[in-house]
Chains A and B, each alone.
Chain A
């Protein structure tokens, strides 16, 4: 369970998050949605202790993120940031293998090898495994980063806009993989999404944020209502029902 209590964040003169309290039970896929600058990424990086907490408290599985040793947290929680800088002259297989670092401190054994190969397979990276990252396209690199996060084998996975740069085929594939990770491996997935229709189909729960506050929290059918969407994103959009799932016509 991830417990966020009264978290606020201020950078310079800007209030990024304002008194956010949120509980995310173990298991399932939670989608964070909202306009640019709503504080979704900041909230994610606070949960993953990439930024120091200014006020309030966050705990993951009972471990307070500000005081738990970083290595212990790395075995509980994996984070994929938006546009991570990638080191040069590194092969895809090596990068994916780094996901095992919190467990092995760099020694790779037979079990790790198996997990690495499985992750490469799962994200369609077998043909690219021995290519250098700086020779890949943005989408291929993104897939390698996601594979690394998967390979970390943690109960909680936080992904910040993982669909960036992915084509439709791989975007759909990734969402299905996240769904499967939640259903089959009992992992907890929290994902920042801009494509609200992916959230509608694959998430159990949608948390909508605006201007540093949580404005809606519930199942896709509860949150994806025209009036709610207009409040969050600032313009009206139609929602239709397709096979029991809401489809937001946000592009018209």
Chain B
């Protein structure tokens, strides 16, 4: 029964992917197909990265209205990028191998995520405090980034400005492969740990009682989340509410928090929403709006709705 819902989701995702590749093809077919294939892969891996990182983050924090981005993790990534430009200058920054740059930034982010979030999560905070901390951290890193932006000269600023907004249209072929590797490995690890994730969702005490080494498990999961956020932020920029939207949808669809259902459902939902949304905007509305803005708007509404309904209980 539940597996049937997953199959329907998978079929839907496949249909959307085929439609994405074929609708409105004209001109040099081979060239267009190649371009679309790279975009398809980009969007799929971004969707998957955001979906599973959100699922895991919500499990670890025992909170269904959080995403790593709400907690300012992507702001941390952008801050790292700004700091690099400041240190190296725009010429040095552009000359750097983008893959090396990505690895450096992702590594930095993983360390920072551990330093900032591990002590907080080891003793679970209540949602109010957690949200507040996230907002404060997000503002802090964004302010630091804009402080650096004022310090560097305008030409250098232009180099990094492009990465500060969610953009699903620009393709970064240089980062697609490394992103694909990171996302695939993370997805495999998380799938293999799906039972552990179910136990982690019970909270520190129950999980420890059932034989989970809490700090070790938390460290590993947090590192994976940081890596996945780095991938999605590097490829399309910061998206705050997309993960919340797709995980909430996926949870409705499979009606369970068990990870063997929720993880695949969230991935597939993310792919359907991203590819479908992109097609609708591009072909039906003629590019009248950007996907990033629409998704954030809808996701923000879902966030508010969830905050209101959970506080009612």
Contact = CB atoms under 8 A, between A and B. Distances in A.
A72 B213 CA distance: 11
Contacts of A69: 213
**Is the interface on chain B under 10, 10 to 19, 20 to 34, or 35 or more residues?**
20 to 34
Contacts of B194: 106
A41 to B, nearest CB: 11
Interface in A13-54: 45, 48-50
A71 B209 CA distance: 9
Contact of B211 (A74, A86, A94, A149): A74
Interface in A54-68: none
B127 to A, nearest CB: 12
A99 B209 CA distance: 10
Of residues B196, B201, B211, B214, which shows the largest number of chain A Cβ atoms within 10 Å of its Cβ?
B211
B134 to A, nearest CB: 20
B205 A50 contact: yes
B62 to A, nearest CB: 6
Interface in B185-205: 194-196, 198-199, 201-205
A107 B195 CA distance: 8
A114 interface: no
Interface stretch (B26-34, B254-262, B295-303): B254-262
Contacts of B211: 70-75, 101-102
Contacts, number: 77
Given A98-B202, A106-B194, A106-B195, A90 B258 contact: yes
A106 B64 contact: no
Contacts of A252: none
Given A81-B205, A99-B210, A102-B211, A89 B251 contact: yes
A105 B212 CA distance: 10
A78 interface: yes
Nearest to B214: A70
Given A84-B202, A87-B202, A98-B198, A79 B209 contact: yes
A73 to B, nearest CB: 7
Nearest to A90: B257
Contacts of B251: 89
Select the residue from A50, A74, A87, A107 with max chain B CB neighbours within 10 A: A87
Contact of A89 (B206, B208, B256): B256
Contacts of B258: 90, 94
B256 A81 contact: no
A169 interface: no
B129 to A, nearest CB: 15
A142 interface: no
A181 B72 CA distance: 50
A152 interface: yes
Given A89-B256, A101-B195, A84 B203 contact: yes
A85 interface: yes
A88 B212 contact: no
Contact of B201 (A74, A87, A106): A87
Nearest to A105: B195
Given A94-B258, A101-B195, A106-B194, A86 B202 contact: yes
A84 B194 CA distance: 22
A70 B213 contact: yes
A75 B201 CA distance: 20
A81 B206 contact: yes
Contacts of A48: 208-209
Nearest to A88: B257
A86 B203 CA distance: 8
Contact of A102 (B202, B210, B255): B210
B199 A101 contact: yes
A84 B210 contact: no
Interface string B210-236: 111110000000000000000000000
Interface centre among A101, A105, A107 (most CB of B within 10 A): A101
A45 B206 CA distance: 11
Contacts of B205: 45, 50, 79, 81, 84
A194 to B, nearest CB: 20
B58 to A, nearest CB: 10
A69 to B, nearest CB: 8
Interface in B69-125: 124
Contacts of B203: 84-85, 87
B206 A84 contact: yes
Nearest to B257: A89
A78 B64 CA distance: 28
Nearest to B62: A85
Among all A-B residue pairs, the 6 with the closest Cβ atoms: A106-B195, A74-B211, A71-B211, A102-B211, A87-B201, A89-B257
Given A79-B209, A90-B258, 5 more contacts: A80-B209, A89-B256, A90-B201, A106-B194, A106-B195
9 contacts: A45-B205, A69-B213, A80-B209, A84-B203, A84-B206, A85-B203, A90-B257, A94-B198, A94-B258
